[in-house]
Structure 1
Amino acid sequence: MSHHFDYPSDETLDISDAYCFAGAGDAHGPRTVFGMNTSPFGAPTWNATGYYELKIDTDGDYIEDITYRATFPIGSDGTQHVQVEQLTGAAARDRTATGMIITPPNAPIGQVVECQGGITLFAGERLDPFYNFIPYPVATTTALKDGTFPDFPAAGPASDSFANTGVRSLVLEVPVKITGREPVHFWATTAYFDKGHNTWIQVQRAGKPNMTTFFDFANGTAKIADYNGTAPTIDLVGRPAHPATDPATGIWGQVRDNIAAVVEAGGTYDQLPHAFPTPRAYGAWAADRLLPNVVKFIPGTVALWDPWCDIQNGKGIIEDIASNIIKMIVNQDFSSGLTPGPVLDYFPYLSTPPPPAS
């Protein structure tokens, strides 16, 4: 659950989750799945004028080297299709640039599509694979805002708030000849063209779970759109030379200081296995693991995102990721007690769509 609380007015451009994990390898080597889920509250179509982008950094500088830009044009007969461009180098960072179209003409929505370069595509409705009990992140968000400690037992008992919820999923499975075998960084964005200002506006950015919903990034006020409109390179601006002691600014400083206030209120900052002498020192440790807000993954390996347990490798679709980021906030082991629903063991891996409403 990356973004379920910060949805924009245009729900079609709302990213609920981004994920990255190993697909089914072939004779040529491992394949990596990059995906995003959008429209968690049932937007009827994809945005025909927006951009849905999967961004990959292959050299470790948190700047995208490859962008897969999906658009959803509507034909003269009213049928909506999917088109994906592959942009590389400087073009990957330029929304006015054009790239190589890898999809066949009029590629259908809701079907698996074989694309150029050995890439496989799916864009269509799926059952939301991520599970969460909304009162737990609500309690966490309140604690971060107020500098208190969340009372999770009072919020329970837990049930899956997203059960039988549909999302629109954009999923690519990419061969190793494109990604390479070294670690990659991945994040997803959406954007629309602002005709009044003649420019593209980034609506949302998603990587690790809940980052825009847990933190008030702009000096303690909820200017989440400011964060969503930025790039990962901005995430460490404001980190001081002595992060455990010195004043900090920017997104990094806000994350550190919000977490520090929570663990101070709960008295958990000096608890094992991550014991620190001060709340600020624990907050700095946590901020360094949560930022930049990208998903790091080694192609061909098993994905698991649980930074409190010192594991950050991809982000699968059956992990209790909401619990795993809550651990980072409170410096305590935590689990929702929920279990994942069914998923497929073949592309596009996400379960089939939910049944239509009666």
Structure 2
Amino acid sequence: MKKTKIYLGLAVLAVASIILVSADHIDAPSTKGTTADIADFYGFEPTVGSDNTVFVVDIQSSVLPELPYGEFDENVLVEINIDTDGDLVEDKVIQAIPRDGRMYFFGPVTPGQTGLDSQVLVDSPLGDVEISGATAITETTSNGVKLFAGPRQDAFFFDFFQFNAVIGGMAPGGFKTSAEAENTFAGANTMSIVVEIPNSVIGNTTATNALGTSVYKTWVTTNVKQ
């Protein structure tokens, strides 16, 4: 197996002999609740008819309201995988990895290998942005790509405890109505990575959603340094 070493130069992330192993959310017990835990992944047009696509990756889903939010893990590479020919294999990837208070982005470019393992694409820098704290910081690159990384309130509404009661047979009345349900994640934070990118940089869309909008077949993985 290749050995992993990560070096940081002046404003340049340099990585030698990188190999990382990916896992997904919930189904991988070794990843659930860790800094590599994927909470949600969103892809959408910023405005109707826009020529851009926004990708949002939320990780560290176990950050409850009474707990402080975490920090991005420098041993975790986040990878947005994009299928541009409809075969459900990634043709383009966008990567994000933190280093010393900044998030570095690479791609979109054809990966050297597909599947579970990934290499950091240091030859294809996309841009970088300071990791935000309480105040949001964004960066726009010369080719119109907008970048963000930092804590954000979890947008997911879910009555987690009632759900567990139902599936555990402890709630004979079933699920609560929308008026009665409690949002377990109200006020909770996730660690968010956001990329708004022109579609022309990504390539052709390969699917149509329920609203008749052309979209990409895309998914996200987290990759832990070995």
Q: Fold match, TM over 0.5?
A: yes
Question: Cα distance 1:115–1:138, how it changes in 2: closer, same or farther (>3 A)?
Answer: farther
- Match of 1:23, SS state, is coil
Q: What does residue 7 of structure 2 align with?
A: none
Please point out which of 151, 161, 173 is paired with 1:153. Answer: 173
Contact kept in structure 2, 1:135 and 1:155, CA below 8 Å: no
- Match of 1:12, SS state, is coil
Paired with 1:92 and 1:35, the residues of 2 have a C-alpha distance of 23
Q: How far off is 1:7 after superposition?
A: 7.5
Contact kept in structure 2, 1:136 and 1:152, CA below 8 Å: no
Contact kept in structure 2, 1:119 and 1:172, CA below 8 Å: yes
- Match of 1:103, SS state, is strand
What TM-score comes out, normalization by structure 2 length? Answer: 0.67
Q: What does residue 147 of structure 1 align with?
A: none
Paired with 2:171 and 2:161, the residues of 1 have a C-alpha distance of 10
Contact kept in structure 2, 1:119 and 1:174, CA below 8 Å: yes
Q: What does residue 193 of structure 1 align with?
A: 225
Contact kept in structure 1, 2:54 and 2:197, CA below 8 Å: yes
Please point out which of 34, 37, 45 is paired with 2:55. Answer: 34
What TM-score comes out, normalization by structure 1 length? Answer: 0.44
- Structure 1 position 22 matched with structure 2 position 22: no
Larger Rg: 1
Contact kept in structure 2, 1:65 and 1:92, CA below 8 Å: no
Question: Cα distance 1:133–1:9, how it changes in 2: closer, same or farther (>3 A)?
Answer: closer
Q: How far off is 1:25 after superposition?
A: 6.6
Q: How far off is 1:155 after superposition?
A: 4.8
- Structure 1 position 117 matched with structure 2 position 143: yes
Contact kept in structure 1, 2:96 and 2:103, CA below 8 Å: yes
1:109 maps to amino acid: I
Structure number with greater CO (CA < 8 Å, separation at least 6) is 2
Contact kept in structure 1, 2:41 and 2:220, CA below 8 Å: yes
Alignment of 1:178-257 (within 5 A): 178-179=201-202, 180-183=204-207, 184-194=216-226
Q: What does residue 70 of structure 2 align with?
A: 44
Contact kept in structure 1, 2:79 and 2:95, CA below 8 Å: yes
Please point out which of 68, 82, 101 is paired with 2:125. Answer: 101
1:115 maps to amino acid: T
Segment of structure 1 superposing worse, 59-68 or 130-139: 130-139
Contact kept in structure 1, 2:86 and 2:206, CA below 8 Å: no
Contact kept in structure 1, 2:146 and 2:196, CA below 8 Å: yes
- Match of 1:64, SS state, is coil
Contact kept in structure 2, 1:114 and 1:121, CA below 8 Å: yes
Contact kept in structure 2, 1:118 and 1:174, CA below 8 Å: yes
- Residue identity over aligned pairs, in percent, reads 23
Contact kept in structure 2, 1:35 and 1:54, CA below 8 Å: no
The structure with the largest helix share of the pair is 1
Contact kept in structure 2, 1:67 and 1:92, CA below 8 Å: no
Question: Cα distance 1:7–1:139, how it changes in 2: closer, same or farther (>3 A)?
Answer: farther
- Structure 1 position 81 matched with structure 2 position 102: yes
Q: What does residue 198 of structure 1 align with?
A: none
Q: How far off is 1:119 after superposition?
A: 1.5
Q: How far off is 1:152 after superposition?
A: 7.0
Q: How far off is 1:36 after superposition?
A: 1.1
Contact kept in structure 1, 2:108 and 2:201, CA below 8 Å: no
Please point out which of 153, 166, 177 is paired with 2:189. Answer: 166
Please point out which of 200, 203, 210 is paired with 1:177. Answer: 200
Contact kept in structure 2, 1:13 and 1:191, CA below 8 Å: yes
Q: Gaps (5+ residues) in structure 2?
A: 1-23, 208-215
The structure with the largest strand share of the pair is 2
Aligned CA-pair RMSD: 3.0
Q: How far off is 1:8 after superposition?
A: 2.9
Q: Gaps (5+ residues) in structure 1?
A: 75-79, 144-149, 195-358
Q: How far off is 1:138 after superposition?
A: 2.7
Deviations 1:94-147, CA, capped at 9 Å, x for gaps: 61352411114xx2112111135322111111111111111454357558xxxx
- Match of 2:105, SS state, is strand
- Match of 1:69, SS state, is strand
How many pairs are equivalent?
178
- Match of 1:62, SS state, is coil
Q: How far off is 1:66 after superposition?
A: 1.3
2:173 maps to amino acid: P
Question: Cα distance 1:127–1:43, how it changes in 2: closer, same or farther (>3 A)?
Answer: closer
Q: What does residue 218 of structure 1 align with?
A: none
